[in-house]
Structures are given as structure tokens and as C-alpha cells.
Structure 1
Amino acid sequence: MPAAAPVRHRAARVAALIIVALTLSVGLAPAGPTVAAPPARQVAVTDDPEGGTAALRAALEEASKGFLDAKQALAESVQRQQQLTAQLKTAKAEQAERTERVEQIAGQAYRTGPLRTASVLLDNTSPADFLDRVATLEATVANENRAIDELQQTQKKIAQDTRAVEAEIIEQRKQEALMAKRKQQAEKALTVANEQASAAAAAAAAAAAAATNTTQNSARADPAPRNPDGSWPAESCSVNDPTPADGCITPRTLHALNEAKAAGFTRYVSCYRPGNSGEHPKGRACDFAAQQDGFGGDATGDDRTYGNNLAAFLVDNADQLAVLYVIWYRQIWLPSSGWKSYSGAAGDPSSDHTNHVHLSVY
């Protein structure tokens, strides 16, 4: 096959000419806008820019929602107990009055006796007078019977209210135990995740905790709408996301976003993000950049202070905004546990949350 060699040489020369042409075309192409590449990061467990793992975020969401549900149930039980206690107090006061009345009736009956009743009926001057006295006597007996019946009903109500108060106390102990369980669940999930962090990250987290807790006094947010019983209504990703993320968020997320802006936190924000785990795809989370124009490197100076104050605002208004958790500068705040260490899996500003404050709502 001697002809094969020239064919291979011609193919090699054609390939070389194509490569040269492509190189020249790239070099002569008009220059476009330069887009800075995102900082390189080593993905240890997940490729989610939120940091941590999908399992961790699911555990935190479940634990925080369970804690808030139990907290609401506890508040409702305490309110019911207060109402029942007031009813019980009223019933006992009525019992004292009605007991005294029945005792007076019994004493009167003892003093007059059945002969006195007969003499009342017989001592009359006419049939009409007799009938009037019979009617009067019947009314007296009916009144006495009603007094006794009212006393018995009051005693029954006292017994019912007492049992109801005892049931509410049992319910409160149940909800307190559930809150403690949810708190332990969240802290256990964080402990397992943070065991993977280095000693340097732990030291940085401790420093971040001190900085996070040193903030100015926060503004008060208007509360998000609740159900009549005080619980949070179920919401879907149903309103347009006004941030550049261009997706959907829940009405409660929009409320939290607007309240943060009204409090002066107006820097870059991004909420909806498809394709990841956690609350972003559900429209229940927002990332608030610490820098003015977007997510850069580690926040320092005024940017760090901005993040500290924003995190404090969200935490101080957790009940009004239905906060599930807040993450900022290697720290996570949970309604059950307060601030705890949080280390991103990748170790970059995004997963460590050193360039933005993450908010998740119920």
C-alpha cells in the first residue's frame, strides 16, 4: 500500500493549515467585553454554590420548620390554658354563690318543714286564694330546683375545665419536648457538617461570631400575614422575583425582601435560583450581597459591617418575617439554637457566605 503515505502527509498538511487559520481568525477577531471568570474553587461534596450539602440543607429546613410549628402550637396551647383558667375562676365564683343560695334554701326548708307548707295551703279564705297560694308554692319549688340544678351544672363545668387545663399542660410539655428534639436535630446536622471544617475555619468562624453579634440596633419589620390561629399559611412560588435572578418567589419572601430594603439594605440581591437544593428553587430564599454591586470576595471593612447589620436585622425580626435560618460569614442562625458555626464545603466566599447574607423563610 505505497499510496497511503502521501495521503497521510496531505491530510496532516491540511490539518495544520486549518489550525493556523483558526489561530489567526481568533487573533484578528474584534475584542468583546471582558468577563471576569469566577474564582476557582474545589468542590468537595457538592457543586451547589450555597455551600454545605443538600442533605444538610434539607435537615436544617425540616428542623427549623418543625421547631416553628411546635413553637406556634405551644403558644396556642398556652393561650387556651389562659382562657380555660379564666373560665375556671369564673365557674368557681359562681359555685360559691350558688352553694350559698342552695344552703339558704335548705335552711329555710328545715325551719318551715312540710307542715308549714300544708298550713300555707289550708289557711285561705276562698278557692281563688287557694289557687294563688298553690301557684306561689309551685314557683317557689321550681326556683329551688333551678338553683340546685345550676349548682350541679357549675360543678360539672369546673370538673371539665380542670381536665381541659390539665390536658393543655400535657400538650405544652409535648410541644416543648418536640422543640428540644428539633433543636437537637439541627445542631446534630451542623455538628456533622462542621466536623469536616479545618481548625483555621473554626477560628475564623469564632471571630465572625463576635463580629456578627457586634452590630447596631436593628429596625423593626412589619409582620408578614398569618392565619387566624397564628400559623404561617402555605405559599407557593407565585409572584415575580424583582431581583435580577428573574424567577418566582413566595409572597412571604417578597415581604421579607421589601422589609429589608425599607430598613436600608438596598445593595445587590438575588433570590430565585433553579437547579439547586434548598429554598432558592422554591422561591423561599434570597442572597443579599455585602458589596454594593454583587458577589465578590470576602467582605471587609464597611462591607463586613453592612453584612453584620443585615444579619442582625433578619434575626431580630425572625418572628415577623418567618425566618427559617440566616447564614453569614461561616455562621448560621437557627430559631432553635441561635448562632452556630457553618462551614461551606468548597471553602470559597460563596459557600462560606463571607460575601453575602443568605435568608430562608418558612
Structure 2
Amino acid sequence: MTARPRGWLIWALTPLVAATMTIAPASSASAEPGSSSSSSDDKSKKSDEDKTADEGDEDTLLNDVLEATGRRYQTAKDAVAKSTKAQLALSVQVKNAEARRDALIPQVSAVANQQYRTGGVSTMSFLLDSGSTTAFLHRAISLEEINSLNDGKLRQLNAAIDEVQASKARLDAEVKAQKQNYSAMAKQKEEADKAFALVGGKTVTKGFVLAKSPVADPAPRNSSGGFSPEACTQDDPTTSGCVTKRTLHMYKEVRKAGFNRFAGCHRNGGPFEHPKGRACDWSLQKSGFAPFHNDDTFQYGNNLMAFAVRNADRLGILYVIWNRMIWFPASGWKTYHGVSAHIDHVHISML
């Protein structure tokens, strides 16, 4: 058997060695969390407790949403911790692969340089220089072994380069997943904080409030997009007095949202918005006013307040008072120091 000539080796090895020498070693990954191992979670269906307020039942309480958000936050945090170990392991793989690659580069480079300086070994002259048939066969076998050795080194180098690239790709995927998990954690926390703060947090509702409210039809605006001052020209549906058009619109929207217990709007005399037809007091009772005394009356007030606050911009609401706190669109919730603690009704004043 005659050996295949390897005259192409010089041309194959020289550019390959030059190319591999330019590969920059990967920096070791820091022990930062993140996870790409959540594909099974992505494929599985969400459980009811993991649904957001918009996905869940309409009667979901904000407390339930906060609990579900907390669970999702913990899941993302666990994935981040799990990915820390994965990134460390991949960093070791990258270093080991680079070490094998770097050890092979001088060996392959030496072969390429030798071929370049000597022009390589002529297969025919190498074999014809044999003194006997036995020597010819021995030289043929030796030539095949030399070529196999060189080819083996080349394959090892290519395999080492591929391993470095594959390990880096896996590490990059872990880092990307880590960023996604951190982003998800931050978003969930921000959404939970906003939702809770908007309706007064634990101070006002203790979390016993619907996670979402009906969307009110918007009140008419002027040509500039704002709310112009209005006179008290409309009949008050709760008294013999009057209310503004905007107040009447708010009254109808609150009723349409399902809040049908006792209410009073216009009141003669006194300061603020009632005498101007720009305010309504929404009782927790079917008739008259009395402080909340059970879950039903407390949650009714919470939900009515939440409807007003969440639709304040659409309805043109100036401020809301409930359970010793007052809410302004510009500043949020503050402690209310008025004469009434407003634990027997929700007060809504209009622009």
C-alpha cells in the first residue's frame, strides 16, 4: 500500500495557525446569577396563582396579586442562583478548552514551519531512496504514520477551537438569560410597588381591594385637552341641589361600575366642593352613613376608592379621601387631618 502524498499540508496548516493565533481568550465569567434552564417552565402552563391581575379572575384581590408577584420574583431569583453555578462551570470549560488549544498551536505551527522551510518531504523521492523492498515498505509505513500524526494534530486543534467557541456560546446564553431574569425581577417588583402605592398600600386598604377596576368612560375635555371650570347646572340625583356636568358623569360611571349603595353629593353651605356641586360622598351602607365594621363594608370602600383613583384622569377627579388618607394625582397618598376620618364614606372631589 502506498501512502497518499501530503503536499497540501503546508498550505492548509500555515493559514490555519495564523488564524488560530488571533483567537482572543475568553474572560472568565463573574459569579453573577441568571438562568437559561427555564425552558421547561416556559413550556409549562401557568398555574392560577402565577397569573397577573389582567389574566386572573376579575374578583382577584390585590393581596393575591402581590402574593403571585412574590412567587414569580422568588422563581426568577432561584433561576438566577442556579445559573451562577452554570456560569462558573462554563468558565472552567472555556479555560480548559483554551489551554488545550494553546498547547496544540505550537505543535501544529512547528509542522507548518518545517514544511515551509524544507518544502516538505517528496513522497516519491522518499520511497525511491529505499535500498530494498523491505526498506521501501518500512518507509511507506513510516510516511503514512507521519502524515497520520500531522493530520491528528490538525484535527485535535480544530476540535479544541470548536470546543472553545461552543463553550463561549453556552456562556453567552447563560449571561443573556441572567439579564432577562434580572429584568423580569425588576419589572415584577416595580409593577407590584406601583399597584400597591396607587391604592394606598397597607395603610389604606391592607391589600383587601380588587386588583383591577372597570375602566370608566372619559369625561368630555376642552379643545386644549384639559378640564374647564363648570357651573352647578345639573340636577343632583342624590339631593334637591345641583351638580356640574363632570360630577354627574362621575356619579353615573361609579354607579355603572356596580357601586349602588347610598351616596350624597350637593350640600348647602360650608367650604370646599360640595356646595359647588363638585363632590360626592359614597357611603358604605345601603342607607345613611356608618363606619365600616366588617369585611364587606371595608372592602366596598376600598374598591370604590380604587375605582376612583384608577380612573381619576379619565373622569377629571381632583382628589379622593378615604380611611384617614387623602390622594392627589400629583402627590399620591398623604395622611388626612380633617375633622372626619372618612371611615364611613369615600369622598370624591372633581375639577
Task: Provide the TM-score with structure 2 as the length reference.
Answer: 0.41
Higher relative contact order (CA 8 A, sep 6+): 1
**Which of the two has greater helix per residue?**
1
Task: Provide the TM-score with structure 1 as the length reference.
Answer: 0.40
